[in-house]
Structure 1
Amino acid sequence: MATTAPISVDESTFESEVLHADKPVLVDFWAPWCGPCRLVSPVVESFGDKHAGTMAVAKVNTDENQQLAMRYSIFSIPTLIVFQNGREAARLVGYMPQEVMEERLSQFIAPR
């Protein structure tokens, strides 16, 4: 299976890559010093690989993109937000196993 790495987005690319995307985008708000972020990162990457056809995955470094973190009220990391049609559609906070992520995001990854 080919891997699809999450795209790294910042304040200059967020609108085009996330808000104007043609499919839902799971955005991982993280920081390099955050232990739980390092734990959830491989789960997010695996999720993205598994569902590359129905959902894109992006990462936002909150240390480097504080305006984005403030705009989306990121008070705790990791925070995962699904954006669909330019709007927040779901929010998950903290580490979770992939099975839990799959269950919580099933409405976005179900075959259409």
Structure 2
Amino acid sequence: MIDAGSIVSFDPLESATPFVDTDIVYDAAGAPPDREASNWLTVSPSAAARNATLAVMGPQLGYYYPEIVQQIHLSGPGIEAQGAAVPGLSMYILIGRTRDYAWSLTSAGN
């Protein structure tokens, strides 16, 4: 459960100033798409109960996208990852995580 008051709302079109205290600032890559992308929520370690970054990603797949996926766990020298992939085309984990990072996919306009 997310703590009350821990979510900060902002309009990315109004300001390029980050809403968290940080010494690292990157210029915006441009205006975000007009409601044409998937959604996500990230929580910094300082705001998380277990002092770890949290990421909740909600990929919005296209209506006709074949949602047939399989769970994969890759373990070997230099790799430890798990996630979802398309059966028969499992060269890549499309939505997954390692111990250090996580990733998702997006339909962005489909």
TM-score normalised by structure 1 residue count: 0.28
Q: Which has the higher contact order (CA 8 A, sep 6+)?
A: 1
TM-score normalised by structure 2 residue count: 0.28
